[in-house]
């Protein structure tokens, strides 16, 4: 595999154990791994000049629904709360098929890559018209991002008291069988893995208790992680109290959904006891600040979570509720949102960047990623700070506060996926044309 020397970066923000920030430093990449970090390094490989740049670990996205890049800013869903928003979108999603899943995932992953993201989870929970998890995995292989797809599911339709239409729910036995199929086919547990599969029933309001419990058993038997939505807003908590007679944290605990192999999206409404439960059990959280703002869900208590030792990563969430998928913008929003409720010292730019990189990697069980340190995987973002956004700043934390919000170069497993702002792995204009054609077809039938 190619060797690269990233040379003479203005700053390398390592987020290593000592949280070093190195001036004028080099990074040597060999065989997909960071071989050396220091000054005056030499290499026979390609030299990437990084003068005028800040180099950070690749950002890690812990929650997404890539298919939703085909339903950004849909009329009728633009100003609704969670449940109303879902009910607007379900009938549109019911018309998706394999091509929609594959193309929307390529667009979503390319968009993430340009914003510095090297590793993304995805939560796909509906499989209409022959769509499969495989469609999104093919897209990730093509784009070249490290990918943690989760096999989602919905099994309680409207007629049984759930939220989704009956046409979008699946049989529970089939769901569990398909989880095993995709784990057998795609899951790679090794260091440096480019694909790890997770098990992810959509939410307490769209699957049964049995499916939650059996999914947890299945995931633990197979040695994969588990993911779902939890305590996203007030409606979600009310549903839990009325239907299950307990708060979401209790529901999760009762069904085996706490532990270091579990991460929950949102957790906006966790109370003090639930935060303590997540801390004790090492349960992870995917914090999605833009989506929480867009749907008016509230401000997740991230400060309290972090102070009590809860593992927190960031997620852009699906593009029907963000509606952009820019990881650096998400990082800035995470910092700003804590300050709205807790004051200007509630979260620093450096802490937000740490949550977006190392924090997310830890939530996804990837201790081989998320920092620039010898022996870790070569997932690296290079940000050009010679442009207008950076003119006038001299502290590297300005990257989060001021931008830029798109990378110049991006390496994933030592492979250059973005060069001079362009995706190297795709004919992006052609994929955008495909996406536009598919979106038009969906819009015409609304
Ligand atoms: Zn979500």
Q: Give distance in angstroms: CA of 85 to centre of ligand 1.
A: 12
Beta bridge pairs of residue 149: 122
Domain map (residue ranges) of the chain: 4-58+371-423, 60-363
Task: Write down the H helix ranges in 194-233.
Answer: 209-222
CA distance 198 to 121: 9
How large is the angle between the packed helices 98-114 and 133-143, nearest 10 degrees? Answer: 40
From the CA of 317, how far away is ligand 1's center (Å)?
Answer: 5
* 159 alpha carbon – ligand 1 mean position (Å): 23
CATH code of the domain made up of 60-363: 3.20.20.140
What is the bridge-based pairing of β-strands 117-124 and 146-153?
Answer: parallel
**Residue 391 CB burial class (10 angstroms; 0-12, 13-18, ≥19):** exposed
Distance (Å) from CA 31 to ligand 1 centroid: 34
pTM of full prediction above 0.75: yes
pLDDT of residue 1: 60
Partners of residue 54 on adjacent β-strands: 11, 383
Per-position b or e across 296-318, b if 16+ CB within 10 A of its CB: ebbbbbbbbbbeeebbbbbbbbb
- Could you tell me the fold of the domain covering 4-58+371-423? Urease, subunit C; domain 1 (2.30.40)
User: In the chain, which residues have pLDDT < 70?
Assistant: 1
In the reported structure, the alpha carbon of residue 29 is separated from the centroid of ligand 1 by a whole-number distance in angstroms of 34
Q: How far apart are CA 334 and CA 356, in angstroms?
A: 9
Which tokens hold the place of 338? 């804590």
Residue 361: predicted pLDDT: 98
Tally: H helices and E strands in the chain: 15, 17
Cα–ligand 1 centroid distance for 298 (angstroms)? 15
- Other beta carbons within 10 Å of 438: 18
What is the CA(124)–ligand 1 centre distance, in A? 9
CA dist., res. 347 & res. 105, Å (int): 32
Ligand 1 center to 101 CA (angstroms): 16
64 Cα: distance to centroid of ligand 1 (angstroms): 6
How many angstroms does the Cα of residue 264 sit away from the middle of ligand 1? Answer: 10
Helix (H, G, I), strand (E, B) or coil at 397: coil
Ligand 1 centroid distance, CA of 202 (Å): 8
Alpha-carbon gap, residue 258 to 274, rounded angstroms: 11
364 Cα: distance to centroid of ligand 1 (angstroms): 16
Q: What sections of 245-359 are H helices per DSSP? A: 248-254, 272-281, 289-294, 302-307, 327-342, 349-354
Distance 413 CA to ligand 1 centre (A): 27
Which pLDDT score is estimated for 52?
98
Gap from CA of 427 to ligand 1 centroid (Å): 28
Centre of ligand 1 from the C-alpha of residue 172, in Å: 21
Distance from the alpha carbon of residue 294 to the mean position of ligand 1, in angstroms? 12
Question: Measured in whole angstroms, how far is the alpha carbon of residue 431 from the centre of its chain?
Answer: 21
| Non-local CB neighbours of 31 within 8 Å, separated by 6+ positions | 1, 3, 414
């Amino acid at each position: 595999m190619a060797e690269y020397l990233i040379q003479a970066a203005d700053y390398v923000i390592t987020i290593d154990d000592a949280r070093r920030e190195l001036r004028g430093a080099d990074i040597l990449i060999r065989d997909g791994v960071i071989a050396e970090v220091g000054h005056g390094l030499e290499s026979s490989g390609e030299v990437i000049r990084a003068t005028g740049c800040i180099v950070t670990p690749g950002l890690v996205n812990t929650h997404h629904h890539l298919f939703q890049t085909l339903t950004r800013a849909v009329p009728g869903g633009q100003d609704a709360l969670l449940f109303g928003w879902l009910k607007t979108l379900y009938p549109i999603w019911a018309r998706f098929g394999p091509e929609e899943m594959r193309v929307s995932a390529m667009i979503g992953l390319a968009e993430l890559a340009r914003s510095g993201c090297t590793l993304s989870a995805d939560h796909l929970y509906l499989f209409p018209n022959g769509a499969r998890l495989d469609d999104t995995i093919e897209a990730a292989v093509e784009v070249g991002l490290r990918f943690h797809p989760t096999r989602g599911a919905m099994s309680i339709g409207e007629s049984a008291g759930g939220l989704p239409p009956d046409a979008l729910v699946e049989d529970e036995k089939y769901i569990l069988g398909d989880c095993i199929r995709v784990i057998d086919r795609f899951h790679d547990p090794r260091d440096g893995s480019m694909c790890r599969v997770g098990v992810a029933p959509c939410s307490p309001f769209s699957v049964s208790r049995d499916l939650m419990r059996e999914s947890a058993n299945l995931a633990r038997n197979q040695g994969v992680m588990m993911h779902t939505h939890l305590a996203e807003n007030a409606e979600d908590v009310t549903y839990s109290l009325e239907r299950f007679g307990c708060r979401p944290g209790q529901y999760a605990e009762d069904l085996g959904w706490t532990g270091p192999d579990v991460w929950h999206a949102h957790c906006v409404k966790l109370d003090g006891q639930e935060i303590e439960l997540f801390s004790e059990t090492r349960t992870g959280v995917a914090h999605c600040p833009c989506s929480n703002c867009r749907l008016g869900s509230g401000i997740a208590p991230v400060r309290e979570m972090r102070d009590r030792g809860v593992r927190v990563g960031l997620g852009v969430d699906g593009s029907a509720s963000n509606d952009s998928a820019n990881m650096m913008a998400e990082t800035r929003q995470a910092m700003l949102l804590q300050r709205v409720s807790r004051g200007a010292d509630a979260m620093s730019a450096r802490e937000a960047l740490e949550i977006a990189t190392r924090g997310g990697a830890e939530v996804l069980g990837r201790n081989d990623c998320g920092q620039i340190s010898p022996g870790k995987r070569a997932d690296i973002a290079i940000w050009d700070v010679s442009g207008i956004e950076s003119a006038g700043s001299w502290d590297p934390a300005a990257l989060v506060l001021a931008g830029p919000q798109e990378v110049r170069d991006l390496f994933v497993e030592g492979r250059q996926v973005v060069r001079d702002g362009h995706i190297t792995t795709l004919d992006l204009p052609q994929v955008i044309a495909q996406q536009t054609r598919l979106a038009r077809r969906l819009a015409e039938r609304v």
